[in-house]
């Protein structure tokens, strides 16, 4: 046992174990506070700043060259020229508005730079709602097969108080007078607008915004483990009329920029209930100082301030290893099953194509230009939405052709998800696909939406959110 304790003592000094304990610290919080629903979030923000518009010139009016041998721009010039007996003095100023985009990709890259995650691949941004929390909801990073990461300390939203809402509520109680047994039927729907403030702050990025949250919800009874529970299920939501600023170099006011745009949220999906037993076991193995107690602030306590029960911690580590091993096995089994199923389906389709009669080139062109995407029978809307999501969070432009056919799907929710998926993927080449879809859109409103999305995606990414290259150490 002494050798085991010595081993744990050494492990406790490693970064890997500290990360594991940080993950373990999340479980007690889940045991005490449960989020009810999750909504996928799509950021469509623009950053406008002032940029120079004049070619820099020397005192004689000759264009100046930079270190790369090319001309560069400036805000103002003063120069003089002489022709014969005529001397001309010129003073000029010029600037232009330069617009960049801030989408999910840029926000995730800023979180990589802040060392919250190591790579953006696979991650999406989700808004978790908790009715019993004073904050109402918290932003999380979500990746399949990994625990959700609470990013409430970086990205957060708060209610500014001003609001207007529609509400319909009804409660009907039926009582049997002979047995005194009674039952209640409760219904409620609501929608409204609320003034909100949003902030995104890391060591390198500071963004402050105000906007109007447009929301709706419906009361639903869901299963919460063995019991039933009533929750207010959020509908699709948005934050519009956004205006704010992105703060750059504190010593350079011209480095600040104007933010505008909108944030979209999908309809809520019910989150599975937590497993409190795991949280309690880990809680018993770690004794935090008094100042660390208190829900979600516990995971952020410094490792050095915690006291560890080595025997209990060993048991906890073994449980975690077993848990993640079984989790991985289940995920792999599911992936292999889906892979086998997909191969079988593709084989079946290939056989049907080989046995089909040959069609002329004109027929092929007409079929290709048809705006109806004929999904396979086994593809439910949920499956399609998951396909779009999976492709979008690769952040790989090679996945765009997989999303593009759904821009003209018969279901408007799928079409909207496909457009959002291209925005989330965050590559400028999406503009070509979106502009093509606008020409065959099913409604004039969607044609405008696709065209606007195409223009947005062709903007360059924000300079404040772009990943900085780390300087190589000086020799």
Same domain, 157 and 263: yes
Contact 63, 71 (CB under 8 A): yes
Residue found under tokens 């990013």: 151
Same domain, 333 and 398: no
Could you tell me if residue 349 is inside a domain?
no
Same domain, 201 and 302: no
Q: Kind of pairing, strands 206-224 and 227-234?
A: antiparallel
**Which pair of structure tokens corresponds to residue 179?**
């047995």
Could you tell me if residue 101 is inside a domain?
no
Same domain, 251 and 310: no
C-alpha to C-alpha distance for 471 and 475, rounded to whole angstroms: 12
Could you tell me if residue 102 is inside a domain?
no
Contact 126, 137 (CB under 8 A): no
Could you tell me if residue 322 is inside a domain?
yes
Residue found under tokens 């606007």: 452
Residue 56, classed as helix, strand or coil, is: coil
C-alpha to C-alpha distance for 120 and 32, rounded to whole angstroms: 29
C-alpha to C-alpha distance for 269 and 267, rounded to whole angstroms: 7
Instruction: Give residues with Cβ within 8 angstroms of 129, minimum separation 6.
Output: 35, 36, 37, 38, 39, 136, 137, 234, 268
**Which pair of structure tokens corresponds to residue 312?**
């209990």
Q: Where are the alpha helices (DSSP H) in 266-309?
A: 276-285
Instruction: Give residues with Cβ within 8 angstroms of 442, minimum separation 6.
Output: 371, 408, 412, 415
Same domain, 398 and 450: yes
Q: Kind of pairing, strands 182-201 and 149-150?
A: unpaired
Could you tell me if residue 86 is inside a domain?
no
Same domain, 247 and 155: yes
Same domain, 293 and 187: no
Same domain, 250 and 158: yes
From 243, 267, 291, give the residue that closes a domain: 267
Residue found under tokens 């389906």: 345
Same domain, 255 and 156: yes
**Which pair of structure tokens corresponds to residue 292?**
């660390």
Task: Work out how many domains the chain is built from and give that number.
Answer: 3
From 267, 297, 330, give the residue that closes a domain: 267
Same domain, 227 and 330: no
What letter would DSSP give residue 197?
A: E
Contact 135, 198 (CB under 8 A): no
C-alpha to C-alpha distance for 340 and 379, rounded to whole angstroms: 16
How is 315-370 classified by DSSP, letter by letter? Answer: HHHHHHHHHHHHHHHHHHHHHHHHHHHHHHHHHHHHHHHHHSPP--HHHHHHHHH-
Could you tell me if residue 70 is inside a domain?
no
Whole-model pTM?
0.68
Mark residue 138 as left, alpha or beta (left: phi above 0; alpha: psi -120 to 50; beta: remaining): beta
Same domain, 165 and 256: yes
Residues linked to residue 287 through DSSP beta bridges, in sequence order: 307
What letter would DSSP give residue 71?
A: B
Could you tell me if residue 180 is inside a domain?
yes
Residue found under tokens 């979106």: 434
Contact 456, 101 (CB under 8 A): yes
Instruction: Provide the domain limits for residue 316.
Output: 2-18+278-341
Q: Kind of pairing, strands 95-103 and 76-83?
A: unpaired
From 314, 341, 368, give the residue that closes a domain: 341
Could you tell me if residue 367 is inside a domain?
no
Residue found under tokens 């996945």: 399
Reading the chain (475 residues) residue by residue, the pLDDT tens digits are 455 445 544 544 444 444 444 444 444 333 334 678 899 999 999 999 888 999 999 999 999 999 999 999 999 999 998 888 888 999 999 999 989 999 999 999 999 989 999 999 999 999 998 766 555 689 999 999 899 999 999 999 988 888 999 999 999 999 988 888 888 888 999 999 999 999 999 888 888 999 999 999 999 887 766 677 788 899 999 999 999 988 765 555 556 789 999 999 999 988 876 554 444 444 444 444 333 333 333 333 333 334 445 555 566 666 666 666 655 554 554 444 444 445 445 444 443 433 333 334 433 433 343 344 444 544 688 899 999 999 999 999 999 999 999 999 999 999 999 999 999 999 999 999 999 999 999 999 999 999 999 999 999 998 666 544 443 333 3
């Amino acid at each position: 046992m002494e050798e085991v304790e010595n081993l744990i003592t050494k492990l406790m000094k490693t970064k890997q174990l500290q990360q594991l304990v940080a993950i373990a610290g999340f479980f007690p919080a889940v045991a005490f506070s449960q989020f009810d629903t999750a909504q996928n979030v799509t950021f469509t923000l623009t950053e406008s700043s002032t940029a120079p518009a004049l070619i820099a010139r020397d005192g004689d009016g000759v264009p100046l060259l930079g270190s790369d041998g090319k001309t560069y721009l400036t805000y103002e010039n003063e120069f003089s020229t002489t022709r014969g007996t005529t001397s001309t003095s010129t003073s000029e100023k010029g600037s232009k508005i330069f617009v960049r985009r801030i989408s999910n990709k840029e926000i995730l890259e800023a979180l990589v730079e802040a060392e919250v995650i190591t790579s953006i691949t696979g991650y999406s941004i989700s808004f978790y709602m908790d009715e019993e929390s004073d904050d109402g909801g918290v932003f999380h990073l979500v990746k399949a097969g990994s625990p959700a990461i609470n990013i409430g300390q970086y990205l957060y939203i708060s209610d500014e108080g001003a609001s207007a809402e529609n509400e319909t509520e009804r409660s009907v109680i039926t009582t049997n007078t002979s047995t005194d047994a009674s039952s209640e039927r409760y219904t409620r729907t609501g929608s409204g607008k609320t003034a909100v403030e949003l902030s995104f702050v890391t060591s390198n990025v500071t963004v402050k915004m105000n906007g109007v949250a447009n929301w709706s919800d419906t009361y639903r009874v869901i299963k919460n483990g063995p019991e039933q529970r009533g929750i207010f299920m959020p509908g699709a939501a948005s934050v519009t009329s956004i205006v704010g600023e992105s703060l750059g170099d504190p010593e350079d006011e011209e480095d600040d920029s104007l933010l505008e745009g909108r944030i979209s949220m999908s309809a809520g999906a019910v989150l599975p209930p937590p497993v409190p037993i795991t949280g309690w076991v880990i809680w018993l193995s770690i004794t935090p100082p008094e100042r660390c107690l208190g829900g979600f602030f516990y995971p952020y306590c410094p490792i050095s301030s915690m006291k560890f029960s080595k025997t209990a911690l060993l048991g906890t580590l073994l449980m975690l290893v077993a848990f993640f091993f079984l989790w991985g096995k289940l995920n792999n089994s599911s992936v292999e099953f889906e892979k086998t199923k997909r191969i079988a389906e593709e084989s079946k389709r290939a056989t049907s194509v080989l046995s089909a009669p040959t069609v002329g080139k004109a027929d092929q062109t007409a079929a290709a230009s048809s705006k109806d995407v004929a999904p396979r029978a086994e593809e439910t809307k949920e499956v399609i939405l998951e396909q779009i999501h999976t492709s979008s969070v690769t952040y790989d432009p090679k996945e765009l052709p997989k999303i593009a056919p759904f821009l003209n799907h018969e279901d408007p929710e799928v079409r909207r998800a496909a457009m959002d998926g291209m925005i989330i993927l965050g590559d400028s080449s999406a503009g070509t696909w979106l502009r093509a879809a606008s020409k065959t859109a099913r409604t004039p409103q969607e044609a405008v939406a696709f065209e606007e999305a195409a223009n947005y995606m062709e903007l360059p990414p924000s300079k404040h959110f772009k990943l900085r290259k780390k300087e190589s150490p000086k020799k």
